[in-house]
Structure 1
């Protein structure tokens, strides 16, 4: 257990958080409890096509960028999609065939733009693939798995760039990259873990071939850190109170019903969520 000195001089527990934990807490506290605290964990919803597709693309890119630059070809990239393909959550065979071919095209085109020597969008040196980052940051231990970490030449010398792959319907822009709590936490953790300069974050949206870039400074990182710490302290305190008195579960972890409840994977355990929105089809989140 990680500790630091509290205000009274006694050791205070550092709360371990990942971007997904923080996002779930801020989105819906009941979903947070059902996902991370209840044991045994309640059954969750079935697979969703958008998540399946995202995992396939991530796994294929992980394999491609794990190879020497000369082997990061478009043909190899398309084959990796086939190797990692899963049809879970798709509507039917026709939809499977459509999105399998799209994923092959996305990853192959991405390899042409990024992965081969002389590519128009060079990657630099890959210093981390699905890299687990963990570092104490104030009142929390920020943890998470970054899709890719590149080392590139910056204005002040070599620096680490945090890259996150996206395959969903939304096409990200620079504001999305700048506002992303996950990317900011990865920057903070990468600085401590790798002991190298790091301030640039990038969202690589494969369906649109878009790269959304933002450069963090001390002020923007401090704002993200402050928000994440406040959430970490709050969720840690709520978890401790629940452990002390399980009867307070509904009080400490109320639902936040809304339209997004249609895609929630624990909606079967939440009457308020089911009343707020009809269940989305398993393939509803696919990029058009």
Structure 2
């Protein structure tokens, strides 16, 4: 398998490897200050309340995971809608009316998903934790990539990584190919489950769009090289902070429009200066 992928996973690991997940890397890339507030500062600084779009996404993910845990004969549109109701939460919505409207939409999304897709095959992974020590230089591993994939299918002897989306915009093939998270899941899935994995898919529930991309060893390597660079910067900043460095200098804020809906806006004066805070329901799919 490792010859097929073209990566050296190594046998002996060095004494110290940086563990990185897609969430940690993207957080650091987007805003080092938010990374520090999320993962390093203790006690955890003040955060905003729940966001409706996050609640909605979690409900749909949980409903689909529960659906695939059922026997095949019970994976019906009606059961999928019932699972949305069972997992539903109102956190972050403007009021009961808005929550009810999106609960009905989520039921429709999962029902249509079951109708339009073959759900008779059992995935090899649901919310599966995958991990792999990797090296992009052919030497000893430089980092451990890890994370939890929404779903991993096995099709014709190969693995396919599936990621559910409930956001405002339908993804396309370019977005699937450009996703560092999906690339990392593909490499880690191949290592964990001992099967080749080059196909990644984004399944957008609101529109029914399936954006698929086929990776090559070279495209996966480019994603890993970028991850390795970020992991090195992250490790250096963290080590320097532990040695007494200035956290504000080592983990600077990168103020952008996203500061309006950052979880740590209450704890970041720089972010609050960018503009007014978003409402908890502003990022819901229209």
TM-score when scaled to structure 2? 0.92
Cα distance in 2 for partners of 1:150, 1:125 equals 8
For residues 99 and 267 of structure 2, what CA distance do their matches in structure 1 show?
30
Aligned residue runs from structure 1 range 268-283, under 5 A: 268-283=266-281
User: Partners of 2:127 and 2:202 in 1: how far apart?
Assistant: 15
* CA-CA distance at 1:111 after TM superposition: 1.3
Aligned to 1:179: 178
Structure 2 partner of 1:42: 45
Secondary structure, counterpart of 1:95 in structure 2? helix
Partner of 1:53: 56
8 Å contact from structure 1 (residues 166, 203) kept in 2: yes
- The answer on whether the counterparts of 1:77 and 1:107 sit within 8 Å (CA) in structure 2 is yes
* Equivalent position of 1:8 in the other structure: none
2-structure distance, mates of 1:214, 1:81: 29
**Higher normalized contact order (CA 8 Å, seq sep 6+, divided by chain length):** 2
Alignment counterpart, residue 249 of structure 1, candidates 247, 250, 254: 247
Supply the distance in 2 between the matched residues of 1:114 and 1:151 (Cα, whole angstroms).
15
Q: Does 1:129 align with 2:126?
A: yes
Larger fraction in strand = 1
Q: Where do 5+ consecutive residues of structure 2 fail to align?
A: 1-11, 136-141
RMSD: 1.3
Residue aligning to 2:82: 79
Moved more, 161-170 or 234-243: 234-243
1:268, distance to aligned residue in structure 2 (A): 1.2
Cα deviation, residue 116, structure 1: 4.4
For structure 1, the 5+ residue unaligned runs are 6-10, 118-123
Is residue 19 from structure 1 mapped to residue 22 from structure 2 by the alignment? yes
**Residues of 1 paired with 2:46 and 2:131: CA distance?**
29
State the aligned residue count.
270
1:92 pairs with 2:90: no
Q: TM-score normalized by structure 1? A: 0.91
Q: Select between 195-204 and 231-240 the one with higher mean Cα deviation.
A: 231-240
CA distance in 1, matches of 2:78, 2:21: 35
Q: Secondary structure at the match of 2:246?
A: helix
Partner SS, residue 100 of structure 1: helix
- Counterpart-to-counterpart distance in 1, 2:132 and 2:161: 16
DSSP 3-state at the match of 1:239: helix
